[in-house]
Structure formats: C-alpha cells, structure tokens
Amino acid sequence: MSDLNVLQEEAGPILLLDRSGDLQRRDVLNAFALDELLCRQTGAGGPAICHIWRHPGALVMGVRDSRLPGAAAASRSIRKLGYDVAVRHSGGAAVPLDPGVVNVSLIVPLSSGPGQGDFQPAFHRMAGLIEQALRGTGRQVRAGEIAGAFCPGAFDLSISGQKFCGIAQRRQSKALIVQAFIIAEGSGGNRADLVRAFYEEAAGDTPPELYPKVTRESTASLQELTSLGALAVPELIRLLKETVRMQQQSFSPEAMDAAAAALRLPREEEVAAMTQTLRQRYTS
C-alpha cells in the first residue's frame, strides 16, 4: 500500500482541521457542505486540508440507495431510531455514522497532465494515510472489497478479513475530496445489522444483485481488531494527526505559514446555504 509521500509530492502542505469534538446534533450534510466549500478554495489555489469530524447519529445513503422503491419508508424507520438520514454527493452506498465513527476528508488539488482523470491515486492517498497511522498497532491493513460489507468497494480497508473503513470521493473541476469513514469504537456487527435492516425494507422487489447484501461478520471496529482499546476514537485521531504532521515537516515554516494564511473557513451562513443546496440536489 502506498505511503503519504504521494500527498507530499502533489498536494503541498496539508492543513489540519479537527472538528471531531463537535458532536452537536445538526444536519449531517453540514460536514459535506463544509467539504464542498473548502474544496472550491483548494481548487482556486488554496491549501490542501485534512478535515476530521464525527456525527452523533446518521445514515448517509448513496444516490442509488435513495432510488430503491422502499427507500422513503426505510428512511422513516431509521429516523424513528434517532438517526438523521441524507443522501451524500460522493460515491458509495449506505453508511451509518455515530460518535464511534471517525470521518476523514482529504481535500487536495487535482494533478495536471495525462493522469488527471485517473481516480486511483486519490484512493491511494487516503488508504496510505490510514495505513501509516495504524502501523504502530502491528496489524496489517489490506485494501480490497470485503464480501458482505456495507458500502462495498475496491478500496475497503480491512484487518484479518473484516472491514473497518470505506473510501469514496467527490470531484470538482480543479480539486477533489476523498472521504473515509473509519469504524473506531463499538460493534461493527451492530452497525452492519442497522444497514442490513435498511436494505431489507428499502429494496422491495429490487433484484438482489442491485444492492449490497450486508452480513454481520463482515465488519468490525478498530477497538475489536487492534490494541487501540475502548479509547480507539481519540487514539486514532491522534495517530492520524501525527501522520499528517509528519507530512507538514517536509515543508518550511514559511510554506506552512503561507498555507495557513491562504485558508478562509466558510461562514456559518455559507455552510448552511450549501447544506440546503446539497439536500435539495440529492434528495429524490
């Protein structure tokens, strides 16, 4: 698996934006809206960003999920359990979010040249960041689709055959957002059960091959898979930030200061407006 050098070569200094301590109950698309606005800045010459965040409880669907015949009824059932429900603008399928899930967004400029349309480097960037952050656990992280996992994809990250992380991306014209959900604490199986129940109600008479077949044993948390223990969330966040700071050390203090000076955090009203835009755009 690639390491973080690919980030250093193409993205320049990466700034950390750690919002993982903010667990206010707000529209889950708020974080995606913030990513969207930050990505516009990056594409216009602003700095690359690593945005770390969590949400108190949501099921975030892919566009295809939202088009299943029973999606509206299944969404109502999920909301009755206390979860927010939304359709995200990046790829992938349904993912449950809660305080035990750490979300990471790498927002980087698109490379120029003949390889610009290749999606693989973006996924390698995120996979390399997570693998490098977890090296100290002594567990081998593998990339490759895990049968029975929710939000399945070629860049599922797993340990001992159980998925703990999924990766998706959202491209703009000059920059992209690579988004990962990392199941850090709690039961991976319980989260898989939640997603399976959603699909059982949402699928209706849809042919089985057109939506994920989720199994409980396919998914586990880092608490279950590694020695990070019951405090896997703060420990993972610390390791991720340390890994990004290693990349920052490759740049001069002047370069880091220039990157920080170029960053403008969007105002709350800008994020709220983009949140509304995303919900209207991606809600069937």
According to DSSP, the β-strands at 101-109 and 58-61 are: unpaired
Residue from 85, 33, 82, 77 nearest 59 by CA: 85
Q: Is 151 designated active site?
A: yes
Residue 116: closest CA among 158, 66, 67, 174: 174
240 residue type, one letter: L
Q: In whole angstroms, what is the distance from residue 277 CA to residue 284 CA? A: 13
d(CA 124, CA 147): 21
Edge to edge, what strands does the sheet with 84-87 contain? 84-87, 58-61, 95-97
Q: Pick the catalytic residue from 39, 50, 151, 165.
A: 151
Query: Which of 234, 276, 277 lies closest to 26 in space, CA to CA?
Result: 276
Contact 225, 187 (CB under 8 A): no
Closest CA to 123 of 148, 139, 145: 145
C-alpha distances (whole Å) from 44 to each of 39, 174, 260 are 9, 7, 15
| Phi, psi dihedrals of residue 271, rounded to the nearest 5° | -65, -40
**Beta strands at 142-143 and 175-183: parallel, antiparallel or unpaired:** unpaired
Integer Cα distance of 67 and 71 in angstroms: 7
Enzyme catalytic residues: 151
